[in-house]
Amino acid sequence: MATTAQLNENSHQGFEAAKRMLCLAAMQAKSNTASGMPLCLRRNGIGSRSSGKERDAETGLDYFLARYYSGAQGRFISPDWSGIPEPVPYANFDNPQSLNLYAYVNNNPLSFADLDGHKLDCTGKNAEGAGCKSIAEWNAEHGIDPDKKASSAKAKGKSVTYNYADGSTVVLIGNHPSRDNNPGNQVAGEGRIGKDKGFVIFDSATSGWDALADDLQSHSDDDVLTTITVRTPPDNGKDKMLKGNDPVAYAKRVAARIGVNPSTKISDLTPAQFNNMVVAIAREEGYFAPGGTRTYSAPPKSQK
């Protein structure tokens, strides 16, 4: 009764605040099964300035699908977890920072981003996932250093020339996804250093993969079919860019590859399924298509 009276006298807090805090407490107790932000925490949600995630205006917490992040504390409010029980989920024992299950991207936010509240990387056990293995095998087969960033790039015909700070160059010839470092055929994204007939040229393969993942994560409240339809609108018989597009068939193929239904929400995908969806879309867009070439030219030797 004393608590009720105090809430009544404080118009700023009120019963709604009490309900929201009770909802938060319940969410924390069930953090390993959370599949969506509870309605009581969504009503006053705003965008976070730092993470880009939905921020609850009253608690100040950012919603990362799998758990909640406190910007004030600089950490998640619950430990990381995995669908398959592990002693230390998503840990890379070569990196001590990954052993902290409350940390945001191994305490390295300048280099990495977290899409769903799980740690986003392809190290340790994550490297064994089908999506990460496909990317790693492709990089090894084609001599790609995914993290080496070009300082500039120029498109000409079906080729793109990348220039690096050390004076070396790489010429990629092929379709848009492969020659533009753009697995998802994105038209925007961080790491852009040029344009190729409407598509972004990314400074590195990693930037291209991140842009595709970020785009999918922005559809966390949508299902697979809706997400694909927004990304790949149907052929309207007028726009040449849309010629041949069939988002329903596209979504069915992607969903089949990751073992879900097209009606499955992006937020309900496990981290492994999400990674596999990223790679499945890249396959659909033609990133792994044969026939492309990569020509590396070493930096010019200094004149003595």
Q: How many domains does the chain have?
A: 2
Q: pLDDT tens string for the chain (304 positions)?
A: 333 333 333 334 444 455 555 555 554 544 443 334 444 444 444 444 445 566 777 777 876 666 777 777 777 777 766 554 566 665 555 567 666 777 766 565 554 555 555 444 566 666 677 888 888 899 999 899 988 999 999 999 999 999 999 999 999 999 999 999 999 999 988 899 999 998 999 999 988 998 898 888 888 889 999 999 999 999 888 888 788 899 999 999 999 999 999 999 988 888 788 888 999 999 999 999 998 999 999 998 865 5
176 and 43 inside one domain: no
DSSP 223: B
Question: 270 with 178, same domain?
Answer: yes
225-234: pLDDT as tens digits: 999 999 999 9
Are 139 and 248 in the same domain?
yes
What is the token pair recorded at 150?
Answer: 């070009």
Cα separation, 166 vs 271, in Å, equals 36
Examine the fold and report which residue of 121, 153, 177 is the final residue of a domain before the chain moves on.
Answer: 121
Three-class SS of residue 160? strand
Structural domain of residue 63, as residue ranges? 2-121
Cα–Cα dist 37/71, whole Å: 17
Planar angle of CA 125, 120, 165, nearest 5 degrees = 110
251 shares a domain with 190? yes
Confidence (pTM): 0.63
> Is residue 48 included in any domain, yes or no?
yes
Asked if residue 146 and residue 110 are part of one domain, the reply reads no
User: Which domain-ending residue is among 86, 121, 156?
Assistant: 121
Do 249 and 223 fall into the same domain? Answer: yes
Last residue of a domain, one of 96, 121, 146: 121
Burial class of residue 176 (count of CB atoms within 10 Å of its CB; 0-12, 13-18, 19+): buried
Which has the closest alpha carbon to 155: 209, 202, 211, 194? 194
pLDDT, mean over the chain: 76
